[in-house]
Structures are given as C-alpha cells and as structure tokens.
Amino acid sequence: MRHFLLLVVYFLYLIQNVHATENRLDMAAQRRATNIHHMDTIILLTYVSIMVLIVLTAWAFKHYRLRFIHESGVTLFFGLLIGFVIRYFGLGLLESQTFDVITKNRTIVKEPPDYLMLEVKPEGGSRVSFHYELIEGFFADKRKRKEQQIEQKSVFSPEVFFNMLIPPIIFNAGYSLKKRHFFRNIGSILAIVFIGTTISCFGTAFLMFIFTTIFRMGFTFKELLFFGALISATDPVTIISVFNEMNVEADLFALIFGESALNDAVAIVLSQVIENFSTASEAITLHDVGQAVAGFGGVFFGSLTLGFGIGCLNAFVTKMTLIAEHPLLESSLFVLISYISFLLGEVCGLTGIVSVLFCGIAQAHYTYNNLSTESQNSTKHFFHMISFIMESFIFCYIGVSVFVTNNQKWNFGFLLFSLISITAARAMFVYPLSFVLNIRRRPQIPKRYQHMILFAGLRGAMAFALAARNTATENRQIIFATTTAVVIFTVLINGGLTAWMIDYLKIKHGKDAIEEGQRLERGMNNLNQSENPDDPNVPVSMAPPGLNPWDKAFLPRKWYHFDASFMKPLLTHATPSLEQTLPPLCLPLTSLLTSNRQKAGETSTPFEDSD
C-alpha cells in the first residue's frame, strides 16, 4: 500500500514538470470530434425517439382500432413536425466554420471536383494538408451559415437509402410473400407489373410533357420520363397493413401486394435505362428504343437470375453442410448472403433491388426448409423487425426532409398536375388491362377490385429514394420536391381513406372474406382432382400449393414440375430425393447430392413453406 502511495506522489511530481506542449491542431481536432459527435448523437436521438413515439402510437391505434389515419401517416406527420422544429427553432445553432475558397492557380472551375485540399499552417507548427469532400444535395444559403450544420447533418446521403435502408425492406417482401395466393394470380400480377408500370411511366411522362410545354417550364422529355418511372413505384406498406387487419378478400390482397412488391423493381430498372438513355446521342431513334427495351429485359432477368441463384446457393450450402448445428452462424450466413445478392447485383451493373427480391423468394422457398427451427424463427423475426424499423424511419425522414433539405424546389403547378397525371396514368392501365385479362381469367377481376387497385396507388420509400439520388439541377429539385409531396399526399389521403373505401366499394372483409375464400378453395380442389391426373409425374401430395388449375400456361406448369422433381430435391431435404426423380443413369452424382436425411426419408411429411 505504501508503495502505491509513493507511486502516486511520484506521478504528481512528474506531471508537475511536464509543461503543456499540447499542439493546437490536436486540440482543434479534439474539439471538432466532440462537436461532431455531439451533433450526430442529438440527431440520432431525435430520430430514434420519434420512432419510439411512432411504435407507441401504432400500438395505441391498433389497440383502440382507430383507422382514420394509418401509422405511416402518423410517422410522416411526426417527421414533418420534427423537420419544422429543426428548421425554425434553435436546434440548428451549433458553431461551425465555413471558408470561401478559390483554386490555387485561380482558374474558373466548370465542374465541382470530388475533393479539395487546403493547406493549414498552425502557429509554431509545419504545414499540413487537409482533405475536403464534396457534399451532394446540399446547397449553401449564405445568409445563415451557422444554423446549417445541424440541418445538413440530419440529411442522409441517398447512398444510405439505397445500400442500407431499402434492401432489407425489399428482401422481406420476398421472404414473407404469401406464395399461395400470389402464385394463383401470377399471370395478372405480372401483366400489371410489366405492362402496367410501363404504361404508367410513359403516360405520366406524356401528360406532364404536354403540361410543361404549355406552361413553358423547360423540362426535357427525358427528365419527365425519369419522373414517370420513379413515380410509378407504388408502396404497399400502408394499404397492405389495413388489408391485413380487415382481412379483405385474398385475391385482391394478392393483386395489390404482388403489384407493389414487384413494381419497385420495374420502376428502378426503367429509371436506370432512362438515365443511361440518350446521354450519348442528340435525339432518340427507334434503334435506341430497341436497345432500351433489350437493356430492360437483360437487366431485369439478369438480376432475377442472379438473386434467385444466390438464394439457391445458400440453400445448397445449408443442405450439404451441418451448419444448422450452429444456429448463430447459420442465421448470420443467411443474412450476409442475402445482402450479397443486393451488392453483387449493383456491382455487376444489374439492379440490386430485383436481385434481393428474388433472392428473398428463393430463400423462402428452398433455404428456409433447411434451417434449424431456431434460425427459421430468428431470420423471420429479424427481417420483419428490421424492415418495420427501416420503413418507419424512411417515412419519418420523408417528413423531416420537407423542411430540412435545401435541394427541394417547390413548384405547385407542377405538383398539382403531377397528382392529376399520375392518377390518370394509373387509370390508363388498370381498366384496359383488367378488361384484357378478364377475357381469359376465371374468376374475373370485378369492377370493385379495379377501383381499389386504382385507389391503392400509394407512393413511398422507393419513389422518394430514386428522386433524392440526383438533385443537381433545378428541374431535378422540382421533381424531388414533387415526389416528396406526392408520397405525403397519397399516404395521408389514400392511406387514411382505405378502410372507408373498402366499405364504400363493398369489398368483402372479415368473416365474409374468409367464407368466400373457403368456398373458392373447395371449388379449386375439385378442379384439381379432376384435372391433375393427366400429369402422372407429380405425385398428388407433392402438387405445389400455388398451382393454378385455371392457368393453362405451358411455362408455369413446366416450372412447377422442374421445381418438384429437380430443384427441391437438389436444394432441400425434401423427398422424393434426386435418386428417385432423376434417371438411374445419374446415380453416382445424385447419390452425392442426396442428404442423409433424404436417404432416411425423414421429411416424408408434406413440404413446408415459409408462410
């Protein structure tokens, strides 16, 4: 103990003799780090607190069955409120320094460089160069420099949206897809998604072009096409959760959910193709259009194949190894590989969103069955929760951005006409397409479904994120502001009126819808039994649940057969195994690819799906 005291005294002696030779730069860096940290945590705290409020409000709304405004509406509203506070109250008053600079050789800069380098000469020290990075999406307002730091800090880079926030939401859409009803309506969904979204994109662009030409607003057709593409991405969140609560008819649910799950993908590919379009040539030729269509197909199906392939790869790994013994590693692998499907898609010049969506579908269809029970639960809850949190955050952020970002330029004429033309463009495909589909479809898409689909055209995260990506010019800023307003408007108005609309259109819900579903089911099963026996290769117990007896299409049926006799035995522990489904010729190979569980015939129970 005495030694320790002696040490302490000696310490103090030492310290007394050390003069403060602290470097100015060190102290400045210290102060700056503290400031930045303080600001970052304040902003994060604000967002997270709002989200706690949102969760509590959402619970209260669910508990007291309030439906006049939906939780995403509430989220938007809170966001707007916070943005307002940040903008007009003292929150932004943090000290920061901004210097005006010119290039060293005094040339005029025509394009902003990515980095600047400034030499700093601290008192009594030697020169040090500091690096500065260009901030996108933030424009200086010379009158109020001090206030801007917190505003700017509370703006996220569009990169964060695309790389971090949106992929889990889309993956979850694929992973939690209710496959039964989805595949029963697959034909109509694909028609709405591909043809519908394209019509909506071009229709909006065309109507807006007429309008902007009349009012001489100086938008190019390409800019408006881009606007048309991004605004065609509908967002399911609000409507779907009302549908879920009210138990509406399953087919309508499948149509609207299917559209919104897939059309983000189409919209993003369309907007990419449009962006890359015509930057080379002065005018658009038919050849360019052909190339664009081919590009669209290539990118969409390339991304689809990539994502689905990665999902299959994960299924294969989980089947052939015993990683299920370590659920933590297994579920981490699952999450990481799913994220890779997004990143690899982006790196390869494809569309990560499409890729991650189909990876989610493959993971649900194959990998899910190989996972340990613990991982099945944990991956499901993980993605469900992450996607809920990300979604709430995005809606909150959309609200905040109205007041805080400086790269939104409001033009109310443009906004008003946008609302009209996106509704018109949506009507342009809903009714004609339903008419065409109804020629062969049984049961038909009744009028009340068509009205509901038109009404369900809410916009959300994807449209916002696409618009936020490039706001360099004034036109882009008008597009960004308009998109934000359209999102807010549709979520508040259409979202709030959904429950009322369901009643008004006399759409069956609750008990009625369940009875209707059971009636249809019985009808289908009868049809199934009378029609299926013509395909003796598929045992009745293995008939895929989504097989639509009314769908006479050749390709889907081929796919189901291939899936049941090759993909599932290859990628999961399902029986019959490859040894049974493939010709005996391939025995050495099939034996290798058949797991012990399959050999023991352990999973002779019906194949389980994630829903």
Task: Write the interaction track for its own copies spanning residues 280-319; mark x where CB under 8 A is met and - where it is not.
Answer: -xxxx-x--x---------------------------x--
Per CB under 8 A, does 589 bind its own copies? Answer: no
Interacting positions 155-184 with its own copies (CB under 8 A): 158-159, 162-163
The amino acid sitting at 516 is E
Considering the rule CB under 8 A, would residue 97 count as an interface residue with its own copies?
yes
Name the region of 97 (left: φ>0; alpha: ψ -120 to 50; beta: rest).
beta
**Which x/- pattern, by CB under 8 A, does the window 362-381 give for its own copies?**
------------x--xx--x
Cα-to-chain-centroid distance, residue 104: 44
- The window from 36-44, 300-308, 419-427, 583-591 that contacts its own copies (CB under 8 A) reads 36-44
Residues ≥6 apart with Cβ < 8 Å to 164: none
**Interaction of residue 13 with its own copies, rule CB under 8 A:** no
Separation CA 540–CA 513 (nearest Å): 28
Task: Give me the least distance between CB of 133 and its own copies, in Å please.
Answer: 5
Task: Say which residues have a Cβ less than 8 Å from residue 33's Cβ, sequence separation at least 6.
Answer: none
* Centroid of chain to Cα 173: 8
Which member of 68, 90, 93, 98 binds its own copies (CB under 8 A)?
A: 98
Q: What DSSP string describes 201-256?
A: HHHHHHHHHHHHHHTT----HHHHHHHHHHHT-B--HHHHHHHHHHTB-HHHHHHH
Report the residue number, 272 or 494, with the smaller CB distance to its own copies: 272
CB of 487 to its own copies, least distance (A): 21
Q: Which amino acid is at 406?
A: N
Among 6, 293, 294, 472, binds its own copies (CB under 8 A): 472
Question: Whose structure tokens read 């129970």?
Answer: 605
* Beta carbon nearer to its own copies, 120 or 416: 120
* Interface positions, 41-60, toward its own copies (CB under 8 A): 41-42, 44-45, 48-49, 51-52, 55-56, 58-59
* Binding of its own copies by 600 (CB under 8 A): no
Among residue numbers 407 through 436, which ones bind its own copies (CB under 8 A)?
A: none
The identity of residue 17, as a single letter, is N
CA–CA distance, 440 with 33 (Å, rounded to integer): 66
Question: CA 162: distance to chain centroid?
Answer: 8
Q: What is the DSSP letter of 279?
A: S
- In the set 257, 308, 339, 358, which binds its own copies (CB under 8 A)? 339
Q: Based on the shown chain and the rule CB under 8 A, indicate whether residue 328 belongs to the binding site for its own copies.
A: yes
Stretch binding its own copies (CB under 8 A), from 30-38, 169-177, 251-259, 572-580:
30-38
Stretch that binds its own copies, among 102-110, 242-250, 394-402, 493-501 (CB under 8 A): 102-110
Stretch of residues binding its own copies (CB under 8 A), selected from 132-140, 251-259, 498-506, 577-585: 132-140
Contacts (Cβ under 8 Å, ≥6 apart) of 96? 35, 145, 146, 148, 149
> For residues 519 and 252, is the Cβ–Cβ distance under 8 A?
no
Q: How far is the CB of 225 from its own copies (least distance, A)?
A: 9
> Total residues at the site for its own copies (CB under 8 A)?
140
